[in-house]
Amino acid sequence: MAARILDGKQFSASLREDIARRVSALKEKGVTPGLAVILAGTDPASEIYVRNKGNGCREVGMHSETILLPEDVSQDALEAEIERLNQDRRIHGILVQLPLPKHLNEEAALAKILPEKDVDGFHLLNAGRLMTGAPGVIPCTPRGALYMIQQTGRSLSGLEAVVIGRSNIVGKPMAALLLRENCTVTLCHSRTRNLAEHTRRADILVAAVGKAGFITGDMIKPGAIVIDVGINRVDGKVRGDVDFESAAAVADWITPVPGGVGKMTITMLLQNTLEAAERTV
Ligand code: NDP
């Protein structure tokens, strides 16, 4: 059986149409949603991500600003920039592009962002809200992944969900979101024993490992929903954490790489920025 594709490009296009409509409605009330992205240094991959975020904003009619800081920027100067954006009424979302240069303290910088402008959802207050079930900003990649899972039309309550990877930006919030949907969640990581025994039980399998082709068809339960978060560059090509061909022969639904979760991440950033602006009127 060939799995059905969860098409991130298609979902993004229709979500962005809706976002653009809501941006127009806000503009009629005198508010243009604005996103500020801070980029410290000249990491080529980060530069591409930041450019794509700006392009996404323009596509839906949002205001966007990119603040370029030198590689050797001090912690104080970075935090002063965040404070300035916290006070700027034209800015509804602030994003600090990660990773920061090694001498900077990421956690301290993220803590400076006003939680209501924290459109990445990385502030400890928003992370805590997600864990306790209170309303808050949800990190973009897991939010996009959950949206894709929901598009299968399956009732998620009671399903076995296995998330591989426990990072603060993907794995942990993904697990919290699936728990909120009443899935029975297993969170796996590099110390997990007999990983395939866990993955073969999964009705929903989310791979966020960072290793190309790590999950193969023999590790997947027939009929599963497989969400591939991985973005790995191999010989100049982008590959996911899932071996697409063997997985698609077993799964019922699968996300491609590229054109899957990655595409949804920026769309969810636009959604989070829009919602932050809507909360101000
Ligand atoms: P991290 O490196 O922070 O986390 C990787 C996780 O995988 C860790 O929890 C690690 O376990 C676990 N892991 C590593 N090796 C194994 C193994 N052999 N078996 C089981 N678990 C293992 O990565 P991120 O969460 O930041 O990113 C994961 C992937 O997703 C990357 O490819 C990244 O590029 C991609 N990504 C994609 C995004 C998108 O928009 N699509 C956004 C963000 C990330 P441990 O904790 O024990 O070390």
Domain boundaries, the chain: 30-115, 139-262
The domain made up of 139-262 has a fold known as Rossmann fold (3.40.50)
Strand 232-234 and strand 237-239: the pairing is antiparallel
CB of residue 141 inside a 6 A radius of ligand 1: yes
Contacts of residue 5, defined as CB under 8 A and 6 or more positions apart, other chains included, come to: 253, 254, 255, 256
Q: Is 33 in the pocket of ligand 1 (CB under 6 A)?
A: no
- Give the pLDDT confidence of 72-111 residue by residue, as tens digits: 999 999 999 999 999 999 999 999 999 999 999 999 999 9
Q: Give the position, in ligand 1's atom list, of the atom nearest the Cα of 240.
A: 32
- Strand 4-5 and strand 253-254: the pairing is parallel
Provide the pLDDT for residue 6: 98
Residues 6 or more apart in contact with residue 15 via CB below 8 angstroms: 147, 267, 271
Task: Please report the pLDDT score of residue 47 as a whole number.
Answer: 94
> Which residue has its alpha carbon closest to ligand 1 atom 22?
190
| 217, 249 contact by CB (below 8 A) | yes
Q: What's the pLDDT score for residue 232?
A: 96
Q: 35 CB contacts (<8 Å, ≥6 apart)?
A: 53, 57, 62, 63, 64, 65, 91, 92, 93, 94, 95, 119, 269, 270, 273
Q: How much is the pLDDT for 196?
A: 98
Q: Is the CB of 269 under 6 A from ligand 1?
A: no
Protein residue with its CA nearest to atom 25 in ligand 1: 167
Q: What is the pLDDT of residue 1?
A: 58
CA 207 to centroid of ligand 1, rounded, Å: 8
Please, are residues 117 and 92 in contact by the beta-carbon 8 Å criterion?
A: yes
Catalytic residues: 53, 97, 120
Closest to 96 measured CA to CA, from 46, 42, 166: 46
b/e 193-222 (16+ beta carbons within 10 angstroms → b): eebeebbbebbbbbbbbeebbbbebebbbe
From 190, 239, 267, 268, give the residue whose CB has the most ligand 1 atoms within 8 Å, as the site to mutate.
190
Query: Minimal CA–CA distance to 255: which of 9, 1, 49?
Result: 9
169: tokens are 């930006």
Question: How many A from CA of 185 to the centre of ligand 1?
Answer: 17
Q: Is the CB of 232 under 6 A from ligand 1?
A: yes
Its CATH class, for the domain covering 30-115, is alpha beta
Residue whose CA is closest, atom 30 of ligand 1? 230
Kindly give the parts of the chain with pLDDT less than 50: none
Query: For residue 205, how far is its CA from the centre of ligand 1 (angstroms)?
Result: 14
Tell me if 122 sits within 8 A of 105, measured CB to CB. Answer: no
Does 139-262 match 30-115 at the fold level?
Answer: yes
261 lines ligand 1 (CB under 6 A): yes
Segment 1-4 long-range contacts (CB within 8 Å, at least 24 positions apart): 1/222, 1/249, 1/250, 1/252, 2/248, 2/249, 3/226, 3/247, 3/248, 3/249, 3/250, 3/251, 3/252, 3/253, 3/254, 4/252, 4/253, 4/254
Q: Where are the beta strands (DSSP E) in 28-183?
A: 34-40, 63-69, 93-96, 160-164
At 60 the pLDDT is 98
CA of 211 to the centre of ligand 1 (A): 8
Residue minimizing CA distance to atom 42 of ligand 1: 141
**Per-residue pLDDT at 167:** 97
Whether the model pTM is above 0.95: yes
Atom index in ligand 1 nearest the CA of residue 170 equals: 25
